[in-house]
Structures are given as C-alpha cells and as structure tokens.
Amino acid sequence: MTKLGQWLCGLALLGSAWAVLALAPPGLQLPAPYRQALLPLPVYLLVAFGCYSLATVGYRLATFNDCEEAAAELQEHISTARADLRRRGLRF
C-alpha cells in the first residue's frame, strides 16, 4: 500500500468516527462539553497537519546536504559546453 493509500485510509477511519460522534445517533448522548470540543475537531487537525508539514519542510531544508561531487561534475559539463559553443563561434 502506498503512503497516499495509508493516509487516505487513516483519514477515512478518523472521518467516519468523527461523523458518527458528531451526528449523535439516537442511542448515543454525549455531554455538551464533549460535543462542543468535537465539532471543530477537523479544523484543529487540519491546522496541526499544516504545522507539522511546515516544520518537516523547514527541518529538511535546514539539514539539506550539499552534493559537492555533483556540483563539480556540473561545472565540468558547463565548461565543456562553453568550449564547444566557443568553437562553433558563439561569444559570451
């Protein structure tokens, strides 16, 4: 199962549990404070997911490794391409 499938299954499970509790079937009576905390729960989870996503992107950006070998190889390709273009008459 892909990561997307796992996330969708988890969201479907949480969403269905939330819907069952929020719609309050006749046999289930939740106290008022629980209902008041339960109704905005999807918004809270969405904000928490956004914070987690921003923190993850920030951490990965801060710990991004430089690829010095790839940079040197790219510089070599650039100098080779420039030499080839100079040979063909293009001036920089």
* pLDDT tens-digit readout, 67-76: 889 999 999 9
* pLDDT tens-digit readout, 2-60: 999 999 999 999 999 998 888 877 777 888 888 888 889 889 989 999 999 999 999 99
Measured distance CA(61)–CA(58) in Å, rounded = 5
Q: Is pLDDT larger for residue 92 or for residue 91?
A: 91
Measured distance CA(30)–CA(61) in Å, rounded = 44
User: Nearest Cα to 38, choosing from 28, 51, 53?
Assistant: 28
pTM here is: 0.59
Measured distance CA(8)–CA(91) in Å, rounded = 55
